[in-house]
Structure 1
């Protein structure tokens, strides 16, 4: 459902939840070309401070795009910018909750500033903010 600019208010929030699988990580590596052994080689990754493979940070961040493009603001919006900070690693098998919350509605520019976060087991693993253009109801 498309949410037009006049239907969005500060504090509005929505989320998407997904358990990241081995298949997700392998497909993302193939699609992106990011074959860093931290993501695809258990033997290598087990010798690092992470003590095992971790999911790509951008795979985790892509779940934010799911919320923005399908829920809040939803279909018809255009992603204009994103700041990210990766706080904790995400592992294969973790269930990630991507959440966006409206921080500011810029009516004159048809934009919305969003707090963007990903959570695993009640802890923030990724945080940032996004700027999104939102269609206005004519």
Structure 2
């Protein structure tokens, strides 16, 4: 294993639109009214529609892909996300800022770990995870 990947960083930013939520619902089949029905959502503790947590998770993996572009001498296959948490609500119109930093390695398993943090435009943390991946030299 190489330490070249330690400290590798990436950032991804995206404002979630109504179209994003509707299309994600259709692609995944998650038609929960909390995501799609404004009148229903108004009656909940959130007061408006929520963005799918799985969509926010997808943004985390987008940041991982961007990070991989910063290490063109490797293929970085994902093993998965560990300790994934959605720590706050995300609403249509919120801007997600995903920060990704490789922070640790496990040479015995040929794996690396990256801290992934998602914050909204107000700086509130709405998602966290540890991304686990391998590094294969080209």
Please report the TM-score for the alignment, with normalisation by the length of structure 1.
0.87
Which residue of structure 1 aligns with residue 35 of structure 2? Answer: 39
Once superposed, which parts of structure 1, at least 4 consecutive aligned residues long, lie more than 4 Å away?
none
| Contact 1:5/1:135 (8 A) holds in 2 | no
Q: 1:14 aligns with which of 10, 14, 31?
A: 10
Which residue of structure 2 aligns with residue 96 of structure 1? Answer: 96
| Contact 1:82/1:128 (8 A) holds in 2 | yes
Question: What is the SS of the residue equivalent to 2:58?
Answer: helix
Listed as ranges, the gaps of 5+ residues in structure 2 are: none
Listed as ranges, the gaps of 5+ residues in structure 1 are: none
Which residue of structure 1 aligns with residue 86 of structure 2? Answer: 86
| Contact 1:110/1:136 (8 A) holds in 2 | no
> Does residue 1:49 correspond to 2:45, yes or no?
yes
- Cα RMSD of the aligned pairs, angstroms, is 1.8
| Contact 1:38/1:54 (8 A) holds in 2 | yes
Which residue of structure 2 aligns with residue 133 of structure 1? Answer: 134
Which residue of structure 1 aligns with residue 60 of structure 2? Answer: 64
Number of aligned residue pairs: 132
Which residue of structure 2 aligns with residue 26 of structure 1? Answer: 22
